[in-house]
Structure 1
Amino acid sequence: MSVEIEAEDVIRLVLQFLKENDLQESALALELETTVKINTLENKEAFVKTIKEGEWDVVLRHVVDLKIPPRKLMDLYEQVVLELTELRELGAARTLLRQTEPMFILKQRHPERYLRLEHTLSRSMFDPKDNYPNGMTKEKRRNVIAQALASEVAVVEPARLITLLEDCIKWQQHQGLLPLDTKFDLFRSSDGIQSTEEDAFADKEYSLIKFPGKNTYAECTTFSPNGQNLITGSVDGFIEVWNYLTGKLRKDLKYQAEENLMSMDQSVISLDVSQDSELLATGSTDGKIAIWKLQSGICTRRFSPAHSQGVTSVCFNKEANHILSGSYDHSVKIHHVKSGKLVKSFEGHTSFVNSVLYNWDNTLVLSASSNGEIKVWDVTSGSCLSTTTPQRETSVQLLLSIPSDTNHFIAVTKSSTLFIMTEKGKVIKTISHPDAKDFISATVSHGGKLVYAVSEESIMYSFQIATGNLVGQKHLCKAEVIGISCHPFTNVIASNDETGLIHLLKHE
């Protein structure tokens, strides 16, 4: 389910928080910058009572925080001036009449009413009959004003912002989007979790996702950077968003609840999510790329086609305004996400491009191919800066960034060896296991200390990146595993196999 919230309502929540915590200067600055008034009261009955009893000092203090139409403000201030005049508080009455905005508006729009007030102030005595004609009285006039002002404001409970944030966290926990019994700091990390979980080997299967039909399975999986979604791209072209804690399809997303799934014409073989978790890029076997809004399921851009053959890898840049892609057609390209225009094309590979990656500051592009070459490209000029072959005549299946190390990346080759390399393409370390068959996929743990690699025998090996030591291994399933991905904050692993199963594992 998607809920749209007006920006002004958010500002009012912040204003209430600031005023409740006696941050008056900050509240005033926000009001001046946005021209938004809080327009709420804790107790409307009490407000109405103060008007009916003529407690004008209290009423005017409340009115400062409310957005009242000029017509009703003029009626209010006019009444206050009259009652001050009746009490012979002439100095205060003149100040209100001559130095307040509602009375200035009254003078411009209704000069005869303004002059009548000036005339009343100049008289030596106050005559109620002259100022409350046609059977009107001071009490009746107060009642009319009270009803008029009360209709313009809403009642809001104290500490509304904090209450809503707490309710939001509880709802996400109830939906399984956030773990239970976890401390939250809303100003740390992208999901608000005060993460203290160290990298650890995830080897306990806690949930299983089963795709319907005999020939339906996930070709690729990825977690969104905010940690809330597991996303799959299927052989039948569908893209689905899952609750990774429960293994259930997320039905709180309206389009999925209505069975209006995101889909492409042919098999989806590559996925990537923007850093703000708002956009999803999908690549398919017919060379097309689609950009989706993850929350609504709306496709904002299709590149038809982006390549002449299947799109094996897609990657957003930091700003999510460019999408990098590699293909079976041997090419590497960058397209503009909004305009759809080709920004840069990198030519030079002579075999399938299996994986593409931006370096940490988006100044370089790295690409890996089936003939074993890894190329490093300059984003601005498009020139190839280096070509490295980690292992001769051995396909490079995948390039992985390391969260804790922006200067290095991991190359996964179709062998029993992983290569740690600099962003300039130099090999600085190798990680291997003597019993492992060829690795077909891998992923790096959320803290960047472990790398998980899956062999052709569907055995998952976990190594320490710093030392290369084996942490643990697990036989995932009898079927052939296609891919593996890691949650961005916790020790959770998702592996997809050819039988339509996704195995979800965590650290015991």
Structure 2
Amino acid sequence: MSTVQSKDTVKLILQFLRENNLHRTLQALEDESSVTLNTVDSKEGLMNDIKNGKWDVVLKQIISLSIPPPQLVDLYEQIIIELVDLNEKGTARALMKRTDAMRWMKENQTDRYIQLEQIFVQPKDMYGQETKEARRNRIAQELVSHISTVPPSRLLTLLGQSLKWQQQQGLLQPNTAYDLFRGVSHVQKAEEDASVTKPYLSIKFPGKKTFAECAVFSPNGQYIATGTVDGFIEIWNYLTGKLRKDLSYQAEDSLMAMDNAVLCLAFSQDSELLVSGSTDGKITVWKVQTGISQRRLSPAHSQGVTSVCFNKDGTQVLSGSYDHTVKIHGLKSGKTLKEFRGHSSFVNAVAFSSDYTRVLSASSDGTVKIWDTKTTSCLHTVTPKTNADLSKGALNPVGGIGSQTVQSIVRVPRNMDQVLICVKSNTLYIMTMRGQITKSYSHHKKTGSDFVSAAMSPQGEFVYGVGEDSSLYCFQTTTGNLLGETKIGDAEVIGLVGHPFSNVLASYDESGHVYFLKA
């Protein structure tokens, strides 16, 4: 990998200071770093100035350059000779007495210095065997060989090229504000909602038996992470479908990994941490930028961990499991802080309410439970029903669906009191934090098309559900109308996730594909 020399970095800064007339800062940095810029905007321009005897212009340019003494002495000697020839002896004597180049000549080429002094008394044969023009040309050639030329504004140009490269690699969204000092993009603003229907990209995991068990977009919209059946966790560029090689550990093929299949993933709110849960009941918290494990909870559950999420400040992890329990773990202590019991089957999804005072859990027992985070008491148990009295917003009683598994819970954007519930049936539901079903969305197909996962658009105007038939269904949130159906693939779909700001969805299936769709 190419490396940047610190001296070159200092030179870029020196050029920036010089071009912006910050001369005192420029001098201070040169003195402190012992680095000089030693560049001119144009070698040809400097050579022409020497050939034409424009000594005032030449001296202004070379004063900040680092030129070997012999070449610098040749230049000053020529200037002094020409000044004497023009009878400007006062100026010529000042250069003889006050310049470092002539002091060097006096100390190291004494005979030459004495001979030069003689021209003030006997100004004859001053140019020797060469003509004035020939001497100027020789001096110009020798002088510029020690000077490099750099196009103007190199620092800003290189920064611009770097940002352009990141955009081309999909590491930076076009027209996105970028914090150069921290090296991060500002959080994107959500796009206006549009119906997602167009597949534009896919990822295929190698091997016939390797596929993603889970996927999640980061809250800042920069990453999508996948966890696979063989235990690997990878961070992807969702615009190109390539691994994020700007993460050094992925560039070196040193991936985050667990001992068994990764069933769930979640980012912290600042997108800096990633938590994973596996089939052996273990939970690991990773630093995204380094790929290093920050905390391992082993075991967090007695059976596989099916769902995880962080609390607001990233100090706790909420988890659900095949062991029927929901837990809150403290990352500092590594201990279980709270435990919620009451489900009679697998817990498939867990989530905090927007104010973190409630915990929600979805289970294969057909229910969604709403818990008090502080006391762990169950406040509501909801069984979504296809015949619910939606107009009255009635609280649904327990037991009405039987074996219809509740698959997932998705927060509703811009309405933090509501969540989208995906039931393995032909209907999706909107539920409040008080356990009321307020809306339903159905494609009305009887068999072979039950929903397995759901997502929402960034602004919450569209509800998406993906069915067993590998079709994506799009509904209008307010009206409940089915707007469209898009066939994604042929294999059975495992999950669906939505980008937090862009009209982008990612669906992953048992064939090892991750499909990306956009509006």
The count of aligned residue pairs is 383
Picking from 464, 469, 476, the partner of 2:476 is: 464
> For residues 190 and 348 of structure 2, what CA distance do their matches in structure 1 show?
35
Superposed CA RMSD in Å reads 3.5
Are 2:150 and 1:176 aligned? Answer: no
Please show how residues 4-43 of structure 1 align to structure 2 within 5 Å: 42-43=17-18
- CA separation of 1:64 and 1:253: change in aligned 2, threshold 3 A: closer
Q: Tell me if structure 2 keeps the 8 A contact 1:183–1:193.
A: no
Corresponding position of 2:432: 422
CA shift, 1:166, in A, is 4.2
The answer as to whether partners of 1:222 and 1:271 remain within 8 angstroms in 2 is yes
| Rounded Cα–Cα distance in structure 2 between residues aligned with 1:434 and 1:252 | 46
Q: Structure 1 499/158 Cα, relative in aligned 2: closer, same or farther at 3 Å?
A: same
Give 1:310 shift.
Answer: 0.6
TM-score after normalising by structure 2:
0.66
SS at match of 1:172: helix
Give identity over the alignment, percent: 53
Indicate if the aligned counterparts of 2:347 and 2:361 stay in contact, CA closer than 8 A.
yes
**Cα gap change, 1:340 to 1:158, in 2 (>3 Å):** farther
Mapping 1:492-503, distance limit 5 Å: 492-503=504-515
Q: Secondary structure at the match of 1:334?
A: strand
C-alpha distance in 2, partners of 1:433/1:308?
38
- TM-score (normalizing by structure 1): 0.68
**Structure 2 equivalent of residue 484 of structure 1:** 496
Q: Match for residue 438 of structure 1?
A: 450
- Specify every segment of 5 or more residues in structure 2 that has no aligned partner in the other structure, as ranges: 4-9, 34-96, 104-150, 386-399
Residues 287-327 of structure 1 show CA distances to partners (whole Å, capped at 9, x for unaligned) of 11110111111111111110000101001111111110000
Residue of structure 1 aligned with 2:422, choices 412, 415, 429: 412
Q: How does 1:90-489 map to 2 (within 5 A)?
A: 166-179=160-173, 182-186=174-178, 191-192=185-186, 195=189, 197-391=191-385, 392=400, 393=402, 394-435=404-445, 437-489=449-501
- How far apart are residue 238 of structure 1 and its match? 0.7
Report the alpha carbon displacement of residue 424 of structure 1 after superposing the two structures with TM: 2.0
| In 1, Cα distance between equivalents of 2:439 and 2:155 | 51
1:447 and 1:165 map into 2 onto residues whose CA distance is 33
The corresponding residue for 1:22 is none
Which secondary structure state, in structure 1, belongs to the residue aligned with residue 417 of structure 2? strand
Aligned equivalents of 1:454 and 1:327: distance in 2?
23
- Could you tell me which residue of structure 1 aligns to residue 134 of structure 2? none
Match of 1:77?
Answer: none
Letter matched to residue 443 of structure 1: A
Structure of larger gyration radius: 2
Deviations 1:440-484 (A, max 9, x none): 111112222112101111111011222211121111111111111
Aligned with 2:299: secondary structure? coil
**Over residues 325-344 of structure 1, what are the superposed CA-to-partner deviations in whole Å (9 max), with x where a residue is unaligned?**
00010110011123312111
**Contact 1:402-1:410 at 8 Å conserved across structures:** yes
Residue identity in the other structure for 1:266: N
Matched, 1:504 2:504: no
- Distance, in Å, in 1 between the alignment partners of 2:345 and 2:268 is 28
| Residue type at the aligned position of 2:17 | E
- CA shift for structure 1 position 184: 3.1
Shift of 1:251: 2.0
Whole-angstrom distance in 2 between the partners of 1:289 and 1:67:
54
